[in-house]
A and B are shown apart, each in its own frame.
Chain A
Amino acid sequence: MSVGHDDLSARFQDQSRLAFGAAVTDLARQDPRVVALSADTVDLIGLRELMQNAPDRVLETGIAEQNTMGIASGLATVGMRPHVCGYAPFITARSMEQLRNDVAYARQPVVIGAACSGIALGVSGGTHHAVEDLALMRAMPNMTVLVPADPMEAYLLTIAAADRDGPVYVRLGGRVPEPPVTPPGTRPEIGRARVLEEGSDVTVIACGCLVTEALAAARDCAASGLSVRVINMHSVKPLDDDAVLTAAAETGRIVTAEEHRLPGGLGSAVAELLARQHPVPMRFVALPDSFAVVGPTDQVRARYGLTAAAIAGACRELVA
């Protein structure tokens, strides 16, 4: 599929959740097997246009995530390519058993678009924060786990996910700004990380909205003579082992950064690999093992150190 970045960006309105909907809309135009399932999330994911132009390709399943996930599995068994669209906290935890049994265990190619992940819904409180979803999804055999860093990457990874032989989880943002980090004209690959900034002293491996913060941290560190490599690990599973091991070998220190609780997320994935194959000193920028406070997303992020300053601090700590 040819991609015109400017045209696409206008459709996304700088939101990865809408980029997912745009990708599903474009896939549905080309592939009669593609169908979207909305758990009362038509506008959240940007499916209104598809629903109006091809009503039978958007299946509204209501506020019933368990049933939505089961239907998706059934659709996949008869040869459809279902794309489930939901709120990250509910489409993972509420439908967890359907996700495990009907989708992952039965190995059905269901693509899950999980909007408002992390603490995008900061003011909504702990019920609406999705900060253990990566742990749940990573622990699921057969599951591919993608964390786009910006809307363009969300669009391109969703297109790439359509060819995947098995279920795919795509972690999406909410209504907070998602500054672009994807170099124009490039195309992300599942299982391949992107080195966005070269560096030799420390490597920051980040995903999602923390990639922007990592790049800012690298600039800050560079100003004081510290050379920081920045890797966008959009593919949390399969992890790009080579990129991690190369970074460990060449920079000797690793910082991970994610909008997720520490247990089971990107930091865990990187640590599990390095502990076995190339142990190096590490620091983790992640949410602590507690429920986050209620508040505007930027303030909650700052409270828990999901910031460029905290990432830069972790880098300096490692070289101290």
Chain B
Amino acid sequence: MLRRLEAEALAIRRNIWRALRAGGSGHMGGSLSAADLLAALYFRFLRIRPDEPDWSDRDRFVLSKGHANAALGAVLVRAGFCDESLLDRFYGYESPFGMHPDITLAGVEMSTGGLGHGLSVGLGMALGARLQGRNFRTVVMIGDGELQEGSNWEAAMAAAHHGTSALTAIVDYNKVQQSGHVDAMLGIEPLADKWAAFGWEVREIDGHDMEQIVTALDALPCSHSRPTVIIAHTVKGKGTSFAEDSYLWHSTAVPDDVYRRAMAELGGEP
């Protein structure tokens, strides 16, 4: 099972680069750091029906760090929500697959892009499930730099207050944001302590270790009265060595030679 999920993560990374090449540029760093987490979510955890994307009892996934949309498109294609040709429409004219998620695309639960929005929206989904007596779960993926937006902490406070145990936040903690390392820009540590102080169950994992990811997801909900945050320690640009742990690869151009280097490292077709 773990090998299969790792294979999906690799396929997602290849799809990310394929989309980035089609668009000519894009946010590779934060897309690649999320690939393993997305593989585990879409191919193990989330109860979804790609052939029935509007199934009312589906689990909800919100990509709050919307600039990693290449990764979301990559996994939606792998999961069968969208045809593979979607990847070639990244940044295209009138495309449903632009830089940021578009709710009109099958499998996308919310249009995101402005940072600090997803956790509130996910909380609304979780509260809606409770009001309707339904059992679906909501997962929101948040970036680390994104946690500098104060609205996240409004949502964190409210989720704990309302005891929404069916809500899970995953922090893709790749340590790098657009202009530098997070701790040099506006530090967010002690991060686990912050979430705990806001009333959340906190788990910390290596966000590239599939066994740790699966173990953390399988344990959800960690509490019947508190929401859970999984702080996933990741590497920006993971999987393509030249792009790892550098703000220069937060978002940049993808000429053919970069694409070829990436695919060579990922063992994909150039």
- Chain A interface (Cβ within 8 Å of chain B)? 35, 56, 59, 61-62, 64, 66-67, 69-80, 82, 97-98, 101-102, 105-107
Contact = CB atoms under 8 A, between A and B. Distances in A.
Given A61-B158, A73-B121, A101 B128 contact: no
A71 B111 contact: no
Given A35-B131, A97-B117, A106-B103, A74 B111 contact: no
7 contacts: A56-B131, A62-B157, A70-B117, A74-B110, A74-B121, A78-B60, A79-B128
Q: Which 6 A-B pairs have the closest CB atoms?
A: A74-B124, A70-B120, A67-B154, A78-B128, A71-B124, A74-B121
Nearest to B120: A70
Given A59-B127, A70-B123, A105-B111, A64 B117 contact: no
Interface of B: 56, 60, 103, 109-114, 116-117, 119-129, 131-132, 150-151, 154-155, 157-158, 161-162
Nearest to B138: A74
B117 A101 contact: yes
A62 B126 CA distance: 18
A66 B154 contact: yes
A68 to B, nearest CB: 8
B151 A77 contact: no
A55 to B, nearest CB: 11
Given A98-B120, A101-B117, A74 B158 contact: no
A197 to B, nearest CB: 44
A70 B131 CA distance: 17
B56 A72 contact: no
Contact of A67 (B114, B131, B151): B151
Contacts of A62: 154, 157-158, 161
B132 A71 contact: no
B103 A78 contact: no
A79 B121 contact: no
Contacts of A82: 124
A80 B110 contact: no
B64 to A, nearest CB: 10
Contact of B128 (A80, A97, A98, A106): A80
Contact of B56 (A56, A75, A79): A79
Nearest to A82: B124
A64 B157 contact: yes
A70 B155 contact: yes
A196 to B, nearest CB: 40
Given A64-B154, A78-B132, A71 B117 contact: no
Nearest to B150: A66
Q: Summarize B's interface: helix, strand, loop or mixed.
A: helix
Nearest to A95: B151
Contact of A101 (B60, B111, B150): B111
Given A101-B112, A106-B110, A74 B154 contact: no
A79 B125 CA distance: 9
Given A67-B151, A101-B112, A101-B113, A77 B120 contact: no
Given A77-B121, A101-B112, A102-B121, A64 B132 contact: no
B127 A71 contact: yes
Given A35-B131, A101-B112, A106-B103, A77 B125 contact: yes
A105 B100 CA distance: 12
Given A62-B158, A71-B158, 18 more contacts: A66-B150, A66-B154, A70-B121, A71-B123, A71-B124, A73-B110, A73-B124, A74-B120, A74-B127, A74-B128, A75-B124, A75-B131, A77-B103, A78-B60, A78-B132, A98-B120, A101-B113, A102-B110
A99 B126 CA distance: 19
Given A106-B103, A106-B110, A67 B128 contact: no
B109 A77 contact: yes
Contacts of B110: 73-74, 77, 102, 106
B125 to A, nearest CB: 4
A71 B112 contact: no
Nearest to A65: B154
A105 B102 CA distance: 9
A78 B129 contact: yes
B125 A67 contact: no
A105 B128 CA distance: 20
A98 B131 contact: no
Given A67-B151, A67-B158, A79 B132 contact: yes
Contacts of B120: 66-67, 69-71, 73-74, 98, 102
A62 B158 CA distance: 8
Contact of A75 (B114, B128, B155, B157): B128
Contacts of B119: 70
Max count, chain A CB within 10 A of own CB: residue among B114, B120, B161: B120
A80 B127 CA distance: 10
Contacts of B124: 70-78, 82
Nearest to A66: B151
Contacts of A61: 158
B56 to A, nearest CB: 7
Contacts of A67: 120, 123, 151, 154-155, 158
Nearest to A61: B158
Contacts of A98: 117, 120, 151
